[in-house]
Amino acid sequence: MKTFFKSIYISNLLYYIIAAEVVFLVLGFFFPTLYIIAHYVLIAIVALFFIDILILFINKDGIFARRDTLDKLSNGDDNPVQIIIENRYLFPARIGIIDELPFQFQARDKEFKLSIEPGKNKIIEYDVHPVKRGEYHFGAVNIYVKSPIGFIKKRYRFSQDMMVPVYPSFMQMRKYELLAISNRLTDAGIKKIRRRGNNAEFEQIKEYVAGDDYRTVNWKATARRNKLMINQYQDEKSQQVYSVIDMGRIMRMPFEGLSLLDYAINSSLVISNIAMLKQDKAGIVTFSNKVQSVLPADRRNAQLQKIMELLYNQKTGYLESDFENLYINVKTKINQRSLFLLYTNFETLSGLQRQLKYLRRIAKDHLLVVIFFENTELRSFLNKPAISTEEVYNKTIAEKFSYEKKLIVKELEKYGIHSILAAPQNLSVNTINKYLELKARGLI
């Protein structure tokens, strides 16, 4: 009985009819004919009300619904969600649907209205866009079915309480993976890098075909076979590529809902996958006030899953980053010369200079690329014309901060340290470009 009362909702239409009926009954005291009509109408309303209840509640399982989501969601991407509804009533059902989304989305408006013919199914599709890693708890799917007459509604509650983890952007990773496999990285804005010199490993001797580089002709093999033969080379493999992620407070700045830290984590997953597809080894280092984790570079099948799990589980208190501690750990734990892609952020030249001595020491043992972020909001502010005197002053200050970023790049170049200054949305593309450029130049 308790369940019955919890699942029944009286329509506003019935309230309006009853209110009108009360008015007629009151007037009936003065006009007897009106009273008789109102009396019979009231009986008819009560009868229809109970018929409505009977039609809706005689079938306990008149509606079925379920929610389908991915096993894990991709951070910073649109992830599809489906609600499948089946009408088991013998009449067309007018339905309202409210899906209980995780609190992280701060969305209370996921409500849909539709009509379903008897015995038919319908699928509702929508997207969710998470901006933080972690556990997301979905609640129930609530279905409100309106009776054929329209006096009442019955609520069905399909308890689909589920936890779905949000991982670093594996959708972005798959996008670049497919492009890399099909050699179509240039379609995504990846530059085509011209190889300088010959820093490749010998692979085989093969017969010359049109388009091969004549400089690789093997004259001894040509003389033996009486055919034009060439040496075929392949890129050097098994180089170590480490994504070093600064998890300090300077990475807390948001851009389009996603923190700079999460942009760095997403990019690290992408570049690690690309490096492994290019037969290099990928590893991860994370640090803030101390080095939090070191995953040694490898390219075995399970390595990508290890990288994804490590990045998913990273927690930070956004403390002050300790580059000295990073240098000491790198010196003791990573002995082979490697490519270090250091994701951090410097807003001022003085901020860089405080850490420069440690970056220079790392660059002595490894090929270091410092990746930091362009302030896109500052750039959009600078692109607007200044109207008032105050705006002129503000633009002057903004120009100073923007110029400091360029000075940081120049300062790093002075000491032979490579750098990438990228807008957050272009981070993965620019990082892949740099990696391919360094490989083409034979620096790794």
Condensed to tens digits (0 to 9), the pLDDT of residues 102-141 reads: 988 887 767 889 899 998 999 999 999 999 999 999 999 9
Phi and psi torsions of 180, nearest 5°: -70, -40
First to last CA, the chain: 74
Taking residue 437's Cβ as centre, other Cβ atoms within 10 Å add up to 15
Say how far apart CA 332 and CA 5 lie, in whole Å.
69
Res. 281: pLDDT tops 60: yes
Say how far apart CA 85 and CA 409 lie, in whole Å.
56
Res. 371: pLDDT tops 80: yes
Taking residue 243's Cβ as centre, other Cβ atoms within 10 Å add up to 29
Which helix (H) or strand (E) segment holds residue 377: the answer is helix 376-383
Res. 164: pLDDT tops 80: yes
In this prediction, residue 5 carries a pLDDT of 43
Q: Tokens standing for 355?
A: 């850490």
32 band by pLDDT with thresholds 50, 70 and 90: low
Say how far apart CA 270 and CA 206 lie, in whole Å.
34
CA–CA distances in Å: residue 249 to residues 201, 318, 320, 344, 348: 43, 4, 6, 10, 15
Task: Select the more confidently predicted residue: 27 or 364.
Answer: 364
Question: For residue range 206-235, what is the model confidence (pLDDT) as tens digits?
Answer: 888 876 777 788 888 888 888 888 877 655
Say how far apart CA 140 and CA 124 lie, in whole Å.
15
% of the chain at pLDDT higher than 70: 82
CATH fold of 1-166, please? Answer: Immunoglobulin-like (2.60.40)
Q: What is the largest CA-CA distance in the chain?
A: 124
Res. 7: pLDDT tops 60: no
Q: Which residues pair with 50 in a beta bridge?
A: none
Measured torsion, CA atoms of residues 389, 395, 400, 401, in degrees rounded to the nearest 10: 140
Contact 404, 398 (CB under 8 A): no
* Annotated domain spans of the chain: 1-166, 170-194+236-440, 200-235
Say how far apart CA 95 and CA 142 lie, in whole Å.
10
Say how far apart CA 129 and CA 276 lie, in whole Å.
28
Say how far apart CA 175 and CA 266 lie, in whole Å.
12
Structural class in CATH, domain 170-194+236-440: alpha beta
Res. 4: pLDDT tops 50: no
Which strands sit side by side in the sheet containing 121-128, from one edge to the other? 63-68, 79-87, 121-128
Contacts of 384 (CB under 8 A, 6+ apart): none
The candidate with the shortest Cα–Cα distance to 267, out of 346, 169, 347, is: 169
Question: For residue range 321-343, what is the model confidence (pLDDT) as tens digits?
Answer: 999 999 999 999 999 999 999 99
CA–CA distances in Å: residue 29 to residues 19, 22, 24: 16, 11, 9
> Can you tell me the mean pLDDT for 80-98?
90
% of the chain at pLDDT higher than 90: 42
Question: For residue range 402-425, what is the model confidence (pLDDT) as tens digits?
Answer: 888 889 999 999 999 999 999 888
| Global pTM exceeds 0.85 | no
Res. 146: pLDDT tops 60: yes
Of 52-66, 123-137, 183-197, give the lowest mean pLDDT range.
183-197
The candidate with the shortest Cα–Cα distance to 139, out of 72, 67, 63, 60, is: 67
In this prediction, residue 53 carries a pLDDT of 75
Q: Which residues pair with 84 in a beta bridge?
A: 66, 123
77 band by pLDDT with thresholds 50, 70 and 90: very high
